[in-house]
Amino acid sequence: MNRHLIFIPRLVDIVFTLPAKRLWLDLLLFAIYLALFCWLVTRVPFFRKSGLGPILLAILFLLKVIASMLYGWQGLRYSYLIQMGDTWIWHFSSLKGLPLLKFNPLAFLADLPRPYQHGYGGFLSSRSSWWNDLHKAMFVKLLTIFNLFSGSNYYINTVFYSFLTFFGPVALYRTALHAFGGRRWWLVAGTFLIPSFLYWGSGIHKDGLAFLGVALLVYEVYFWVKQRSIGWQGIVAALSGCLLLLMYRNYLLVVLLPALLVWMMAERIGRKPWLVFLVSYTVFGFAFFTLPLLSPRLDLPRAVVEKQEDFLTLKANSYVPVKKLEPTAASFLRTAPYALELTVLRPFPSDAKHLFSLAAALENGALLLLLVASLVWRRPGPPNAFFWFCLFFSLSVFLVIGYTVNFLGAIVRYRSVVLPFIVLPLLSGFDLARFPKLYNK
């Protein structure tokens, strides 16, 4: 996107010609905040109850901060190549609201996008949609609040953002630890250390907040079902997760809620969870295409088609051809294999045009090897209901992305939000003890 190129001279001027006094003050403030939040991640009860230990918690948090800073630096240095200047555009946009926040905080909070003539419609649309405008407005407001405490320094904001989004992977780790059993280091790797998830989920963009919303909702629903109780803190956390998804990735909420509902059904039935998911998703698929007959506002196939059309109007270096959708069941079924190919198998090594896309292709290859290994050397016993929740939820998101997005870079970024939900079940079913038997034969 050529609009990113406009910001490069301005960014270079701002970052590399700061007065020496301001630079030292920013470095000092960065060090103070970093030390403070490293201490907080070892003291906040939600983090401490994870069982990760203070040293490991601090290390994992520092990795997020480093990834977030790297994301910003690459958005500055390589914006023309990988088109990641959005993070700096968000930053500059957030500076405009700072005077209003300082002198009239209530007006700042109440300053929301105005509804269109059709009101608050277009929930899943990108066209004249109040919800789409809300995504942008609320993210800019969050960064503006960060600027109030950071002196409008982007890299200090990475510390705030990393701390806020750190709740997401910790919530998922605690859920997976309970659902899949004690493989601590495997779960740490599958939750915190997937390269693309660490990178995209830490950068100052909406992906980290979207994952936080998903993880909070999954965590609270899971332990509510397992423990048959939920306190007011849990209700607040679950509602916060829903609110985050409404503000930043509302299509994920549409996909997540049915998956959670079916998981609760499977837990209650207690037998053959795979069959419960298969039958339920067949019913959901039928409803997906028949709801438009009840009301045009429930035309979800049309919303997916419009989202694809919106992406087709954009231009980027990683463009790949897609099969044009029509709002019919036949069209969606024909396109499903290609959509999954885009999100599960791509990018291929042959798709790599620079170091960043090569890294994504290598990660993809490693994940496919993990899939094969987990199938060949699987632990005995049938997978539990949460395993099937992770699988059906992830594949549903992969389908939505594959149907609508026609840029490999965007596909890698969007799917990173759900990669832990694929990797964790694979690692949980992987039986490392079976490897020596291969060599003994």
Read off the DSSP letter of residue 344: I
Do 124 and 307 form a contact (C-beta atoms < 8 A)?
yes
Which pLDDT value is given to residue 121? 61
Q: What is the pLDDT of residue 113?
A: 72
Rounded Cα distance, 161 and 158, in Å: 5
Is residue 58 within 8 Å of residue 151, measured between CB atoms? no
Residue 28 has which token pair?
A: 């000092």
**pLDDT at site 123:** 60
Amino acid letter for position 239: L
Q: Is the pLDDT of residue 333 over 50?
A: yes
Least confident of 115-119, 130-134, 202-206: 115-119
Per-residue confidence band for 126, with pLDDT thresholds at 50, 70 and 90? low
What is the model's pLDDT at position 127?
60
Residue 61, pLDDT above cutoff 80: yes
Distance CA 374, CA 370 (A): 6
Contact residues for 358 (Cβ-Cβ < 8 A; gap 6+): 349, 352
Per DSSP, the three-state class of 121 is coil
Q: Please give the structure tokens belonging to residue 340.
A: 């999954």
Report the chain's mean pLDDT, rounded to a whole number: 84
pLDDT of residue 19: 57
pLDDT of residue 21: 60
CB 388 within 8 A of CB 266: yes
In percent, the amount of the chain with pLDDT more than 90 equals 40
Which position has the higher pLDDT, 192 or 133?
192
Nearest to 164 by CA among 109, 195, 201: 201
Where do the domains of the chain lie? 1-248, 262-441
Check residue 118 and give its pLDDT: 59
Query: Which of 39, 64, 27, 63 lies closest to 151, judged by CA?
Result: 27
pLDDT at 268 over 70: yes
Place of tokens 């790797």: 189
- Nearest alpha-carbon partner for 216 in 166, 269, 153: 166
Please give the Cα distance from 302 to 325 (Å, whole number).
9
Tokens describing residue 204: 């100052």
Q: Cβ(245)–Cβ(252) under 8 Å?
A: yes
Mean pLDDT of 233-258: 90
Write the single-letter amino acid at 213: G
Which residue from 126, 128, 123 is spatially nearest to 298, judged by alpha carbons? 123
Under a CB-based contact definition with an 8 Å cutoff, are residues 140 and 130 in contact? no
| Cα–Cα distance, 211 to 364 (Å, whole number) | 20
How many other CB atoms sit within 10 Å of the CB of residue 233?
10
Q: Is the pLDDT of residue 272 over 80?
A: yes
Q: Say whether pLDDT at 202 is over 50.
A: yes
Higher pLDDT, 125 or 109: 109
CA nearest neighbour of 231 among 216, 220, 219 = 220
* Predicted local distance difference test score (pLDDT) of residue 79: 60
**Is residue 405 predicted with pLDDT exceeding 80?**
yes
Each residue of 295-332: pLDDT tens digit?
A: 777 788 888 888 888 787 777 677 787 888 888 889 99
- Is residue 418 a contact partner of residue 394, using CB atoms and an 8 Å limit? yes
pLDDT number for residue 369: 87
Q: Which pTM was predicted?
A: 0.88
Tokens of 99: 């005077």
DSSP type of residue 318 = T
The residue with greater pLDDT, 416 or 13, is 416
Label residue 390 by pLDDT band (50, 70, 90): very high
pLDDT at 341 over 80: yes
The predicted pLDDT at position 433 comes to 64
* Predicted local confidence at residue 69, as pLDDT: 94
Judge whether residue 368 has pLDDT over 80: yes
